[in-house]
Each structure stands twice: as structure tokens, then as C-alpha cells.
Structure 1
Amino acid sequence: MEDGVSSFWGPVTSSIECCEKNYVHSAYVAELYNTISNIPCIMLALIGLINCLWQRCEKRFSVLYTSNLILTIGSMLYHATLQHVFQQSDETPLVWEMLLYIYILYSPDWHYRSTIPTFIFLYGAVFGIFHFLLDLGIGFKVHFVILCLLCAPRAYKYYLYTDNIKARRLAKLYVATLIVGCLCWLSDRLFCKAISDWPINPQGHALWHLLMGFSSYFANTFLMFCRAQQRGWTPKIVNFLGFLPYVTIEKSKSQ
């Protein structure tokens, strides 16, 4: 029994809970808002994946959008059940996704084309096993932040070397949504006790999901544009219905 409602999934076994009361709206969904807030993220990942396949982008971007999709589905399962096994399906894909970003950002300078991807794949697999067995907790968070910091200087270099106004706007949107999303996450974690006494819970963790979904989409679109330029293609950024940006690519007939 959680917050007065019978729990279909049994007792909570996850090591982390957010500032949303459990099983308030349904016996089948532990945290409703944190669960449904992943739906727009799934839609964005699918839109990006479909466009990537339509434009015949490099496979790395198809894998990246598939990683986004796996992450959001894992997050839905975790927040719907609050079970330890699904906590791993939320956290481990975060690390895999950052490893993909490291690969995409740094790959133009790597000389060993097969060795580095193999190392990254094995690193991600070993981390997933260790995290599942040991539940690294704060170690996971520190590790994730380190991976993010490794991406930052290279992403900034891409921004500096891009003179396309729309591409630069995408990079700024990525940073803005990332910062605001992190503030929502921190507020939900640090001020939960005070927030719980408010008439309406602002659902900071659900807002984090939504903003990070857009942040990932903006980052992916920006990197697709930059990578297409590196390959000598002719990328353009256009807006669907005047709102959602995406990349179109024109390749020479030989490509």
C-alpha cells in the first residue's frame, strides 16, 4: 500500500524516489507525471530517427536516436514501477548515450577506426554489469557528470567552427533547455520537503524529462548538421510547421 492506494508492482525497491507521491492516480503507475512526461521524449526520438533514415544519415545517428528511445522507455518503466531492476534501465542507458556522444564528437580525430568503437562498446557493457550488480549510486552520478564534461569542450569547438545561424541557434537551445532542466531536477531533489506542502506540486522531475527530451533532440540535430558539413554534404536546417527544426541533406550523386 503506497499513499493509500494498493500497489500492483509491490513494495518500492528502487534506491531513489522523486518528489511525487506514489500510486495517487493508479495502482499500476507509481509516479504518473514522471511516467507520462517521457511520451513527448519518445515522440521526439522517433521523429529524429525517421528523419535520419529518410535523409540517409550515418548509422551513428540512427544508433543515437535509438539510444534516446531506449532511455525514455526505460525511464517510463522505472517511474511506473519504482523497481530496482528498472532503475538500471533508466540510468545505464544514460551512460551509453554519453559514450555515443563522445564517439560522435571526437571520431573525426581518431585514427583507429575500429579500435575506439570497440573500446567504447566494451566500456559501456562492463559499466552496465557493474552498475546492475553494485548499484553505484553516487558513483553513477559522478561518472555521468565526468562524461558530460568530456563532451563539453568538443561541442563548444563545433559551435565556434559553425557559422550557420540556424545551427548556432540549435546549440543555444540545447544549452538553455539543459540548464533549465537541470535546475528543475535539482529543485525537485533539494526542496522536496517544502514542495510537498505546496497546494500544487510543480513536478520538477517531469519537467526535467520534457526539457531533456528537447535538449537531446536539439543536440542531435546540431551534430547531424555539423557532421554533414564535415562529410562535404550540403545540410540545411528547416522547421516543421514553423516550430520543430530538422536537418535535410543534399549529397552529390556519387555519394
Structure 2
Amino acid sequence: MEGGLSSFWGPVTSPEWCEKNYVHSSYIAEFFNTISNVPGILLALIGLINALRQRFEKRFSVLHISNMILAIGSMLYHATLQRMQQQGDETPMVWEMLLYFYILYSPDWHYRSTMPTFLFIYGAGFAVVHALFRFGIGFKVHYVVLCLLCIPRMYKYYIYTNDVSAKRLAKLYVVTLFLGSMCWLSDRVFCEEISHWYFNPQGHALWHVLMGFNSYFANTFLMFCRAQQRGWDPKVVYFMRLFPYVKIQKPKSQ
């Protein structure tokens, strides 16, 4: 414990990151890793409001809500460093990827009831198994595989989209994913060296911030692509010329 502070949550029972524990509060183990999830919650809330206001399909509302749940789970994990809260962070990560898989692949799936049924059973089964066993590196490999399965479809959407602003969203998604991954790896691999620096760059906290934007760019791009599939004449517009969101014009029959 730093500065004589004691832990409100008891001994650490989950993996720690490259941030000294309980420096700023006895209630928050990793302060920066905790508060860095706030931008992700706010961005998901903005996406949810836009999806509801323009009556997008419910899948996108669920996706934005899942982003918020994931960020809240991450906050609880880093604030407590307890195994139960760690599972509350990692299980929603898998659920979120299953949602992305459904949104990406369901438009061309001929048997529409089979995919959501399978994904629901898979997600529920994973939650039960993950609650009973520690995976460690196995969880990370599993999560990366789910991400890789989504990339071909994301790329297909990109090459079939002619709108320059929508393509820019996809590029921002790739850039934030790359930068966030570099921050995550640096924090994990070079932690021993970083711990001797006068200033900790808080790579894992930067990962949280960048992934909050990454999810928002991905969601907005997918909303554009889906609106294009439905013939809703989507456009990427900017709030105060900085913040992108999708504006649609549904036919009167819809």
C-alpha cells in the first residue's frame, strides 16, 4: 500500500497491472485504470441515445448497452482487484464480441433463428465455465480468436462502402485499436522498467480510453453499413464539426 493507505477490499485475488495500488484512495486499488473507463461509458451512452432517437434496430441499442456494462465491469475490477470483479470484466468482453459477430454476419445468414440461439448458448456456457475455472492466457487467446473472426467481415463492409466519411470511421477504428494494443502491450511487457520511471505513462489506462473510442467508431460504422443495407440513406455528420454520428432518413413506409 502506498502512503500508508489500507485496502478496503482486502487482499488482491486477481492479476495486477502496472499501476501502484491504493495511492489515491483506500477504496480504489488502481485509480487511473478505474477512471479511464468513464469516456467509454459516455461514448456508449451517446451512441445509445442516437440509436434510440433514430429508431435503429434493437441490436445496436443492446450493443451500446453492452459497451457500458463492459466499462462498468472494468471499473469494478480495477477498483477492487478481486477475482469476482475480474470475471465481471472478462465475461462481458466475450459477450460483446458475440454481439459484434451477430451484427456482422446475421444479414447474410439464411437460418435466422439458429445464430442468436447458438450465440446465446455459447455466451451462457462461457459465463458458467469462466465462473468455475481460471483461464489466464487461455482467456486472452479465446478473446483474440473471437476478434479475428470479425475482421474479414469488417473488411468486406469497408471495401463495399463508398462513402468517404464512413471509411474514415473504419480507419479510426483501426488506428485506435493499434494504438490501444501498443499501450496494453507496453504496460504489460515493460512494467518492470516503467516502475522505475519518475512518471508512469499509464499504458493500461490509455488502452481503456482508446478502446472506448474504438468501440464508438466501430459501432457508428456498423450502424452506417446496416442503414445502407436497409435503404435508410445514411450520412455521417459531425456534432460541432468534431464528433461523428450517423443520421438516417427512413422511407415513409417504414
TM-score computed with the length of structure 2 as normaliser: 0.98
For the residue of structure 2 that corresponds to 1:247, the secondary structure is strand
Q: Distance in 1 between matches of 2:179 and 2:229?
A: 31
Paired with 1:78 and 1:132, the residues of 2 have a C-alpha distance of: 15
Q: Which residue of 2 aligns with 1:147?
A: 146
SS in structure 1 at match of 2:236: strand
Distance 1:208 1:149 in 2: 19
Q: Confirm or deny that 1:106 pairs with 2:74.
A: no
Name the CA distance, whole Å, in 2 between partners of 1:103 and 1:232: 20
CA distance in structure 2 between the partners assigned to 1:100 and 1:25 by the alignment? 36
| Aligned equivalent of 1:177 | 176
Long gaps (5+) in structure 1: none
Structure 1 residue 11 corresponds to structure 2 residue 7: no
CA distance in 2: counterparts of 1:223 and 1:248, whole angstroms: 13
Cα distance in 1 between the residues matched to 2:43 and 2:107: 27
Q: What corresponds to 1:234 in structure 2? A: 233
Write the distance in 2 (CA, Å) between the matches of 1:220 and 1:41. 12
Cα separation, 2, equivalents of 1:217 and 1:178: 12
Q: Distance in 2 between matches of 1:135 and 1:96?
A: 17
Distance in 1, matches of 2:10 and 2:203, equals 25
User: How far off its partner does 1:160 sit?
Assistant: 0.1
Amino acid at match of 1:208: W
Find the counterpart in structure 1 of residue 159 from structure 2: 160
Shift of 1:169: 0.2
Deviations 1:129-148, CA, capped at 9 Å, x for gaps: 11111021111101001001
Structure 2: gaps of 5 or more residues: none
Q: Does 1:96 align with 2:95?
A: yes
Displacement, 1:69?
0.5
CA distance in 2: counterparts of 1:111 and 1:136, whole angstroms: 34
Deviates more, 1:211-220 or 1:129-138: 129-138
CA displacement at 1:195 relative to structure 2 = 0.2
Give aligned-pair identity as a percent.
73
Name the counterpart of 2:36.
37
2: distance between equivalents of 1:190 and 1:94?
22
Q: Which residue pairs with 2:57 in the alignment? A: 58
Match of residue 245 from structure 1: 244
Cα distance in 1 for partners of 2:240, 2:88 equals: 34
Q: Distance in 2 between matches of 1:204 and 1:110?
A: 39
Aligned-pair CA distance for 1:244? 1.1
* Paired letter, 2:211: M
**Shift of residue 103, structure 1, vs aligned partner:** 0.5
Q: How many Å apart are 1:113 and its aligned residue?
A: 1.1
Secondary structure of 1:77 counterpart: helix
Give the total of aligned pairs. Answer: 253
| Aligned-CA RMSD value | 0.7
SS of aligned partner of 2:244:
strand
1:26 alignment counterpart: 25
SS at match of 2:248: strand
Q: Equivalents in 1 of 2:128, 2:134: separation in Å?
A: 10
**Match for 1:104: what amino acid?**
I
Q: Which residue of 2 aligns with 1:49?
A: 48
d(CA) in 1 for partners of 2:204 and 2:90? 14
Deviations 1:103-133 (CA, angstroms, capped at 9, x unpaired): 1111111111112101101101100111111
